[in-house]
A and B are shown apart, each in its own frame.
Chain A
Amino acid sequence: MGQPNMNIVSAYGGTMEIDAAKSRIRIGGHEVAFHCDKFNTRIIKGLEDVVGVKDAAKLLIESSEQAAYGMFTDFFQGDTKAAFDALAPEDKMATLIEIGKMLGYGAVTVNSVSDAGGDFTSPSSYLAEGWLENMNRWNWKLRDNPACYDMSGYLAAALAYSYGKEPGTYKVLEGNCRAKGDDVCTFKAEVK
């Protein structure tokens, strides 16, 4: 499997700018904000309650993918882009997954990856962890469906960026999910 380029990951972390006068944050030249699992899981629940699981998933995954792709595009400029472009696609993917960890999205293991898609496992996707905590706090139940829409979108964007494709190229489906009671979250990606 690929190896992350930790120089690039470290450089990414070094780009965090906190504008105290505006209380705004940029990392990798991209506007970001801290939110908690409570907000993001409540958004999921709210959308699913109104439009149903299928359409909520589509909305959230597509929005996550577009935004993540924009984050990569904003960061990889000039010398940084040259360094990234020199990596093998598997290493690019591993590097982007490390960047996702830095952002607090959780850990991902790449089981297989190619330009046709891939299989991924996450023992700690933040939305699933948040959902599990909500079971104690708000008496939520285990889900019937996966919860990690943000991660699905992020992986779709990372695949597209690593293999030089446009966003929207890959469909990422989560199968097992810790929020369903599974041990780990699993994701399968394929070209649409």
Chain B
Amino acid sequence: MPIDADQIREAVAGLGLVGDKDSGILRRFGVILANNSVDFLVGREIDFINFLGAKAQNLAEKVLIDAAQWCANATFGGIMASEEWGGLIEPQIESIHDRFAGLVAITNCLGWGKITEFSLDEANEKVEFTVEHSYYVDAWKKKIGDADRPVCYMWTGVAGGYADLLFKGDVHSHVGIETTCAAQSGKVCKFVGEPHSKKYDLR
């Protein structure tokens, strides 16, 4: 049975994605959500990288990607264990490909940009996907200009996190890589999530 992404999007929108009128807390899918300004989400990362300076850029980027990979594990793991997932998506799932499609459908409801293509190589524990309109791109260009490297750190962590979850590995058993970034040029960002190569991990 194919995953019905439109049905999922409409159902998610119908959940009422605003904070509770008394507590101001927005609990959905087993996690606490907040509706954050994209200027904040990207701005704080740029400020952090700039604070550390060019010599520590690699460290800063690793911290940001790491946060997103942990988040992906907890958030999407929580989502897949939630009542909403159980009622809405789980009945449509017959394979690991369907499970990935369900995760993509949910991800595409969050305002991060749109995953337009995705694939999964079960034998090699690898996921690949393409994002159009990543929220990083406009925000980065507005604040910095064209990027000189891939900068969608959150998406990169999510790529590794998807692979961790789908192939039932521990957090960081897989690694995310952004292979193409629209903040540099073009219109799409491309990501890979694949097993972490411990043998040659000299980064």
Contacting residues, chain B, for A168 (C-beta < 8 A): none
A38 and B71 in contact, given A46-B66, A68-B40, A126-B24 (Cβ under 8 angstroms): yes
In the bound complex, do residue A66 and residue B63 qualify as a contact, i.e. CB atoms below 8 Å apart? no
Contacting residues, chain A, for B133 (C-beta < 8 A): 22-24
- A59 in complex: contacting residue of B47, B75, B139, CB < 8 Å: B47
Contacting residues, chain B, for A45 (C-beta < 8 A): 67
In the bound complex, do residue A104 and residue B33 qualify as a contact, i.e. CB atoms below 8 Å apart? yes
In the bound complex, do residue B74 and residue A137 qualify as a contact, i.e. CB atoms below 8 Å apart? yes
Interface string of A85-110 (1 = CB under 8 A from B): 00000000000000011111111100
In the bound complex, do residue A36 and residue B37 qualify as a contact, i.e. CB atoms below 8 Å apart? no
- B21 in complex: contacting residue of A25, A101, A105, CB < 8 Å: A101
Contacting residues, chain B, for A117 (C-beta < 8 A): none
Interface string of A17-58 (1 = CB under 8 A from B): 010111111010011111111111011011101110001000
In the bound complex, do residue B64 and residue A25 qualify as a contact, i.e. CB atoms below 8 Å apart? no
Q: Please tell me if B147 contacts chain A, counting CB pairs below 8 Å.
A: no
CA distance A160 to B185 in the complex (A): 38
Q: Please tell me if A5 contacts chain B, counting CB pairs below 8 Å.
A: no
In the bound complex, do residue A32 and residue B24 qualify as a contact, i.e. CB atoms below 8 Å apart? no
CA distance A55 to B44 in the complex (A): 12
Interface size on A, residues (CB 8 A): 56
Q: How large is the interface on B (under 10, 10 to 19, 20 to 34, 35 or more residues)?
A: 35 or more
In the bound complex, do residue B25 and residue A23 qualify as a contact, i.e. CB atoms below 8 Å apart? no
In the bound complex, do residue A42 and residue B67 qualify as a contact, i.e. CB atoms below 8 Å apart? yes
In the bound complex, do residue A126 and residue B32 qualify as a contact, i.e. CB atoms below 8 Å apart? yes
In the bound complex, do residue A67 and residue B113 qualify as a contact, i.e. CB atoms below 8 Å apart? no
- A35 in complex: contacting residue of B18, B36, B66, B108, CB < 8 Å: B36
Contacting residues, chain A, for B23 (C-beta < 8 A): 101, 106-107, 123-124
Q: Please tell me if B17 contacts chain A, counting CB pairs below 8 Å.
A: yes
What's the minimum C-beta distance from A38 to chain B, rounded to whole angstroms? Answer: 4
What's the minimum C-beta distance from A64 to chain B, rounded to whole angstroms? Answer: 6
Contacting residues, chain B, for A32 (C-beta < 8 A): 35-38, 111
The count of A-to-B residue pairs whose CB atoms sit within 8 angstroms is 191
Interface string of B67-92 (1 = CB under 8 A from A): 11011001100100000000000000
CA distance A106 to B37 in the complex (A): 15
In the bound complex, do residue B32 and residue A104 qualify as a contact, i.e. CB atoms below 8 Å apart? yes
CA distance A104 to B114 in the complex (A): 23
- A104 in complex: contacting residue of B34, B37, B111, CB < 8 Å: B34
A23 and B39 in contact, given A107-B23, A126-B24, A126-B34 (Cβ under 8 angstroms): no
**Which residue of chain B has the shortest Cβ distance to A38 in the bound complex?**
B74
What's the minimum C-beta distance from B176 to chain A, rounded to whole angstroms? Answer: 14
What's the minimum C-beta distance from A29 to chain B, rounded to whole angstroms? Answer: 12
In the bound complex, do residue B26 and residue A104 qualify as a contact, i.e. CB atoms below 8 Å apart? yes
The residues in A between 163 and 178 inclusive whose CB is less than 8 angstroms from any CB of B are none
CA distance A103 to B23 in the complex (A): 11
What's the minimum C-beta distance from A9 to chain B, rounded to whole angstroms? Answer: 10
In the bound complex, do residue A33 and residue B38 qualify as a contact, i.e. CB atoms below 8 Å apart? yes
- B75 in complex: contacting residue of A38, A63, A126, CB < 8 Å: A38
A101 and B19 in contact, given A24-B111, A31-B37, A47-B63 (Cβ under 8 angstroms): yes
Task: Enumerate chain A interface residues (CB-CB to B < 8 A).
Answer: 13, 18, 20-25, 27, 30-40, 42-43, 45-47, 49-51, 55, 59-60, 62-64, 66-68, 70-71, 100-108, 123-124, 126, 129-130, 133, 137, 150
Question: Can you report 9 A-B residue pairs in the complex whose CB atoms are below 8 A from each other?
Answer: A31-B38, A37-B34, A38-B31, A38-B75, A40-B34, A68-B37, A101-B24, A107-B24, A129-B25
Given contacts A23-B113, A31-B138, A51-B52, 11 further A-B contacts (CB under 8 A): A22-B132, A23-B110, A30-B39, A31-B37, A34-B110, A42-B71, A50-B52, A50-B59, A66-B43, A129-B32, A150-B40
